[in-house]
Structure 1
């Protein structure tokens, strides 16, 4: 077993993509996770892997063989973990976090909106929801989208709630009156999923934007308000310029995933959110020539990074999730086939599958199949009991 140079704190496809991005640059990489079903655990690229619990993660790291490795967090929880134990972990490892506890503030959407409003175009927002629905509409006209302030403060049980009219708003207030202080509300920017753009990027310790990769979202799961499952890479200079302003204004360091939506009414790209970590689609970046994972590794070690690379054009797809999302979106079979055929000859990046590392995709597919069978059996049993 070789001594590792980096340790991925792995969460879902984020962790798998980070592993593939580092090994592409011949960085010897270990993986630590708190989930037995992590796709990265099935990868042939792993140097050493271990599954632990959240409670024992600190102990696992402090007793990990060797020292000086770069820690790469791939979820908000892991970023928060590093922030909470920063002083202790810095004695053994290298890693980069936004300065001044920025990562903690970005995890709370209320603080996030207040922070970035000075540097970019933010949708009209209510960071403190009033006590009545009437007072709400006096401050922010409908339609709106209501979001939990963070995963930890999520009292809604879902990623967001779209409110189109007063009846829906009244029902929200009846059902979630206890959760108002844990939510923010923003104007709903109208337009299709194609108006959504993401910039995955890395800032160095001087808050210079050293890598930037932009892509256009085309399908989300759940439909319209979820995570990317189908996208195309295009360089969007206007979005990159806004990201650069945010980073410099906040004195940001490290990786970030910044989301925007084009508002045709104001003809502006409006800020949606920032995640202070590598994005879900980080191997999409790498396959298009912008290796944000390796750039993060270099920043953590104080190594120079080459001049900002130009991105190539590819299609990103998460097959299982995309098919399910299109089904939920009531798209016809003809429309789905037409979409796939239109892009068939373009180079593709798959969220789980890679020719040199196919096993994670197979493992995820089998897990999805087992889940589908369990759901189908449970449905048949309910139907039998009710007949």
Structure 2
């Protein structure tokens, strides 16, 4: 069952999971904002449970709602969270949810710590995983002290899952060009600013990589994939718009070692940036759940991370197989504006193949056309609003969406 908290109906990852398991005959269910979302229109969805949420509800209310849905399904269903709020809630309330649903049993506090920018930074430092230099100001005075010595531009991100919904400091990952721009923004962040101020990694000197994987109860990888991100939207700061599967043993070993060290189990979606200046892969974001672009990756045996989790949690073997190197993934509604924006930048992806061995579209599928049509019908107004918000953001002195760092958590990328 697709579990999502918050209002983001145009989520291609949920549609991808419904199709991935539904094509194999698995009965699929989903929580949707209304009856007319792309996910709700999929031919592979047995039932949509319409339950509008904001992601800021009391956890007890969310657990009660999930249990009601579980009773209506009538048998244990595998939970597939699509956002940090859902992943954190399932982990922290697993004792209450365990009889009604199937999900990886992870240490209760770990997903929240991984979804926290500060928690992730601390784990990286503890286990020797490269990550950008970061500061976690506790007051406006801290920000003033940081600004006096910081090297600009810097990147600002919302620090914690859940808090980013109720009291967001920035509208996603934000590149701040100057001391004056930082202090101007910080005046609106309140007495305890919920932000991380992070080293800016110049996109001209870097390359964005992604890792998607499923780890079993012993934190062993049952499916692990690596790829390179060609474009994202908003540019350099949003969800993946175009990417390729590219073999990267060094990155695979880094991810597997880190997961083993922290003892995580379940699906992961990692964003890393290869810094050409020092030759290091720097971990920017750790999403302890399915990533929206997970259908980029499939093994030669037909396994993606959602299928791997479903097989493992239902007591079946996960077939081994190499990833489909050279395969391409395109998100139709955001790749065109991303392409136009990237033509003006200096970002390059030398590891991306010159020609794709195959292409997976996020929305359009010949055997399931309605989600694509529903997306088109709903995309026009929010798409225009988002472009207007980007324009307004860029008009504020020295502040922009392009970060050269990680996609924002708000994108559910």
Q: Output the CA distance in 2 between the equivalents of 1:168 and 1:295.
A: 46
Deviation of the 1:13 alpha carbon? 1.3
CA contact 2:330–2:360 (8 Å) conserved in 1:
yes
CA contact 1:98–1:276 (8 Å) conserved in 2:
no
Gaps of 5+ in 2: 54-60, 346-353, 388-413
Alignment partner, residue 382 of structure 1? none
Q: Secondary structure at the match of 2:298?
A: helix
1:177-188 residue pairs with structure 2 within 5 A? 178-180=191-193, 182-188=194-200
Deviation of the 1:364 alpha carbon? 0.3
1:369 to 2:380 alignment: yes
Higher RCO (C-alpha under 8 Å, 6+ residues apart): 2
Q: Output the CA distance in 1 between the equivalents of 2:45 and 2:161.
A: 29
Alignment partner, residue 390 of structure 2? none
CA contact 1:30–1:46 (8 Å) conserved in 2:
yes
1:293 to 2:306 alignment: yes
RMSD: 2.8
**1:303-358 alpha-carbon deviations (Å, 9 max, x no partner):** 332235333322211122122334455759xxxxxxxxx75x75211111112111
State which drifts further: 320-329 or 294-303.
320-329
1:63 to 2:53 alignment: no
Q: Output the CA distance in 2 between the equivalents of 1:57 and 1:362.
A: 30
Alignment partner, residue 123 of structure 2? 115
Q: Secondary structure at the match of 1:360?
A: helix
Alignment counterpart, residue 269 of structure 1, candidates 259, 268, 281: 281
Alignment partner, residue 15 of structure 1? 14
Q: Which structure: larger Rg?
A: 1
Gaps of 5+ in 1: 1-6, 333-341, 377-387
CA contact 2:157–2:172 (8 Å) conserved in 1:
yes
1:357 to 2:368 alignment: yes
Q: Output the CA distance in 2 between the equivalents of 1:207 and 1:375.
A: 39
CA contact 1:230–1:317 (8 Å) conserved in 2:
yes
Alignment partner, residue 173 of structure 1? 186
CA contact 2:85–2:162 (8 Å) conserved in 1:
no
1:100-111 residue pairs with structure 2 within 5 A? 100-111=108-119
Judged with a 3 Å threshold, the aligned counterparts in structure 2 of structure 1 residues 372 and 96 are, in CA distance, closer, same or farther, namely closer
Q: Output the CA distance in 1 between the equivalents of 2:145 and 2:357.
A: 51
- For normalisation by structure 1, the TM-score amounts to 0.84
Alignment partner, residue 156 of structure 2? 146
Alignment counterpart, residue 200 of structure 1, candidates 189, 197, 212: 212
Q: Output the CA distance in 2 between the equivalents of 1:366 and 1:151.
A: 30
**1:83-102 alpha-carbon deviations (Å, 9 max, x no partner):** 34321221122111432421
Q: Secondary structure at the match of 2:126?
A: coil
1:86 to 2:94 alignment: yes
- For normalisation by structure 2, the TM-score amounts to 0.79
State which drifts further: 145-154 or 218-227.
145-154
Alignment partner, residue 229 of structure 1? 241
1:161 to 2:171 alignment: no
